[in-house]
Structure 1
């Protein structure tokens, strides 16, 4: 028998939660349903610049709050994670809610306004890198330091392991990163985005090995195409004819939904998912196999 609220007493920080159609919202809601205290991060100005537009943050907050288990708490933090100085304060603010932080989901991302290789500039590459890659690594570092401060320790040398005295009875924390489908095929016109996401997938094993010495599990999720509004004809930023033709050949005939991703992350966050770490997990209903 599984506990009805397996995340009761745990506190989760989910970044990039500013739209009810988004993956972050679905993950935060799923954590709430599983009993967790939930802290959401948002940066609404990013959405205002996109074709799909921004959402009502009060409605976002209300929707997640309505899913909280009795006694669970919620808070939200606004921050621009392109600014490295704002990253660690987000983690610290999330810890304030209950005094501990157990789950970190780095769902935030810069999207839109990319380009192909002929369009690349240093500014474009930096913009995607700073948000999608650098801030994810810095958030993870701050989370890890909250589990074991290393301010007075020398940096790890290549191949060196973090020393620990005894095995852990259970995971001390869980971190989730989000990558994209760049490994399965070309992402034309999204060179900066694909680069920033490929870096996360590529370094997953390295960071997961280090975090594991602290009892922290890291997994990276590739959700495939998930319609968060960017695949609606009226708000898309790309041609859809080729996608629709491909979908017609797939067994399920659809792209992903935010709840598909949320269900996977929700399970990995529970005791049932405690034996999975260091993986880049593709969850796309077989889309990449077509």
Structure 2
């Protein structure tokens, strides 16, 4: 069977958390663009700018995604949003849909809060609330706004996809040093099947990916080498490793897969 080199031609995607060219969001956006989709990139520069790795210029990020466009008729646009604000997710979906011709086919909820976390003894209510607002609440509100858009389309309109990101909180050892983050990412894993059932009537699949440790620049030196040694391949995951899976899940080849939490960890040994 001959495969279409542009399986997402004519479709649109909103990818959140795309402030850096070293990040997973950027890699996913480039993969979707290469498959023919038009993309709206979400960024929250103040978050990454406050981190040791820093943020990139949003227009430079968008330019890198444009370089990957497989369909000359597709577009890449971008815009900011602080998704910790209760009204921000619905506003972002509305702006993205308006910029992409009134429709979003693929929602990739890649954003997350970094820092403001720690082991159980160091937690406080502020840290829990901050991670809840960004890592979980905003994702559910994004899905809600997306679902309302899809409900307005003709019945069984193809191509509906929701892709969320979790972490290794349910695998051996868990994440005892990041309790707040693990808690909220675990909530997304737990709600995946419920969302899949909810959105099935709109021909939307819902899946969640655990990318495992991905080298996005947050570790260096001996700590970086120690993590690399825990992979059978002797290397970290790269942003494009989970991006390949996420992009495939967005295509029609994956239309029979929904309600799943998929681990893409390269055999990582905890």
TM-score class normalised by the smaller sequence: over 0.9
For the aligned residue pairs, the C-alpha RMSD in angstroms reads 1.8
- Residue 115 of structure 1 deviates from its aligned partner by 1.2
3-state DSSP of counterpart to 2:212: coil
2:177 is the alignment partner of 1:189: yes
Q: Which runs of 5+ in 1 are unaligned?
A: 150-165, 234-238
TM-score norm. by structure 2 comes to: 0.93
CA deviation vs aligned residue, 1:222-281 (integer Å, no higher than 9, x gap) = 000001111234xxxxx81xx634643542011211001110011111111111110000
The one of 213, 219, 225 equivalent to 2:201 is 213
Distance 2:231 2:37 in 1: 36
The one of 165, 173, 181 equivalent to 2:160 is 173
Distance 2:163 2:230 in 1: 31
Higher Cα Rg, which structure = 1
Distance 2:208 2:174 in 1: 20
Query: Is the 1:171–1:217 Cα contact (8 Å) retained in structure 2?
Result: no
- Residue 51 of structure 1 deviates from its aligned partner by 1.3
Number of residue pairs matched?
265
The one of 184, 190, 198 equivalent to 1:202 is 190
Q: Which runs of 5+ in 2 are unaligned?
A: none
Name whichever of 89-98 and 217-226 sits farther off.
89-98
Equivalent residue, structure 2, for 1:158: none
3-state DSSP of counterpart to 2:202: coil
Equivalent residue, structure 2, for 1:144: 147
TM-score norm. by structure 1 comes to: 0.87
Distance 1:247 1:18 in 2: 25
The one of 95, 101, 114 equivalent to 2:97 is 95
Distance 1:265 1:29 in 2: 11
2:116 is the alignment partner of 1:113: yes
Equivalent residue, structure 1, for 2:47: 46
2:11 is the alignment partner of 1:10: yes
